[in-house]
Amino acid sequence: MKLLAKEYFGIRDGILNLLKDNLNDKSIKDLLKFIAKYIDDNSAEALLISGPWAHIYFLDSHRNAVFNFFNVNPRDIKKIIEESPVIMSNWMILNDQFNILMIVLGHHCLINKKEAEAKYILLFLLIRFYSSKQAHVFPHPPAPAVAEYTINHLSNKFKVKKLGTIYELLVNQSNTYFDTYRDLILNCSDDDIRIYIPGIESRLASLVGNIRTEFDKAWKSGAYLNTEEEIHTDDEFRTTTNVSNDILRIAVNVTNKIISSPVDLNIAKLAANVSQVSPTAIVNCINQLNEGLNEKIQELIILILQLYLSDGTKNTSSIKSMTFTTYCFNVYKKSNTVDENILRIKKILDDILT
């Protein structure tokens, strides 16, 4: 009897069979490090900005690097896709070997209780889609005054206005898609893949397209001309914005490195001296943290940096110093405080460690 589409797992099983000798903790860790570096390399110019104004390049070299981590030939993935009774040959987005590999890797991590890794891999897939959609919708860099006016005058229904940067928007959307399609990712039949990939791509396209619509309205109306002087002469506003962007950039990069890198033994030793436990215990504690803590870790870093920089006497260049490290240790020791930031820091640390 012919299998129904929902029961057909040719793509999932075929690709997992291709990867069986190279799909392990090391290859996943290498992939996560690669993703973290890709995000880091593109943060300042294209991701940690207010809107979809700058190109982020996703090249063949990026695709090939991912294939190489698992020693898989994309031609072999292509053959598996072609054998599926569900995927039509003219559906370009579903015939892309990279896209298919990413969802299968996300599935593999999720069924092996590695939700944080699955989310990070599928975020990378969404960024890959964003690179294409952004370049299509904004083929040329928009006029800065119009871009800034557009963001400032978006309604609250646009999440990018509330979240502040394209990176935060992509993370938010990726997590939403993950929750929405969780069962599909867990099952990962050919039909689930057929639904998931075009689903997230089309929703992202709508987000970027809607911002373009608002940009065109601002451009045609000329309303931005009345605010151009204010936008470009308010030095205090620009300074505050720059500090906020620096804090977010650092928080994103550090969170990515925490996810993808081993524990820094020097930091572990410092923490051990303060807490009077062994460095090994510190390392084991960090390695055994529950998955899915990315957002809490990033919020924790942002709060600490905001506290550290709030008096205006310190700058971001000093955060690699022992002064900053000591400051971080002392924050948690503060008792009888009413500072909301410190109370929130303590709450997040308690939640993470319990």
pLDDT value at position 154?
Answer: 93
pLDDT digits (tens, 9 = 90+) for 229-255: 444 444 444 444 556 667 777 887 787
pLDDT value at position 231?
Answer: 43
In the chain, % of residues over pLDDT 70: 87
Angle subtended by helix axes 190-221 and 10-19, to nearest 10: 100
Separation CA 286–CA 136 (nearest Å)? 42
Q: Which long-range contacts (CB under 8 A, 24 or more apart) does 7-11 make?
A: 7/189, 8/84, 8/85, 8/86, 8/189, 8/190, 8/191, 9/188, 9/189, 9/190, 10/80, 10/83, 10/84, 10/85, 10/190, 11/80, 11/81, 11/84, 11/87, 11/100, 11/104, 11/188, 11/190, 11/193
pLDDT (average), residues 257-263: 72
Place of tokens 């999720």: 110
Tell me the DSSP string of 219-288.
Answer: HHH-GGGGTHHHHHH-HHHHHHHHHHHHHHHHHHHHHHHHHHS---HHHHHHHHHHHTS-HHHHHHHHHT
pLDDT (average), residues 11-24: 96
Q: Is 101 helix (H, G, I), strand (E, B) or coil?
A: helix
pLDDT value at position 354?
Answer: 67
pLDDT value at position 143?
Answer: 83
pLDDT digits (tens, 9 = 90+) for 288-344: 664 557 777 888 888 888 888 876 677 777 787 777 877 777 777 777 777 777 888
**pLDDT-based confidence at 135, cuts 50/70/90?**
very high
pTM greater than 0.85 (yes/no): no
pLDDT value at position 1?
Answer: 34
pLDDT digits (tens, 9 = 90+) for 204-223: 999 999 999 999 998 888 87
Q: What is the mean pLDDT of the chain?
A: 84
In degrees and rounded to multiples of 5, residue 48 shows phi and psi of: -90, 55
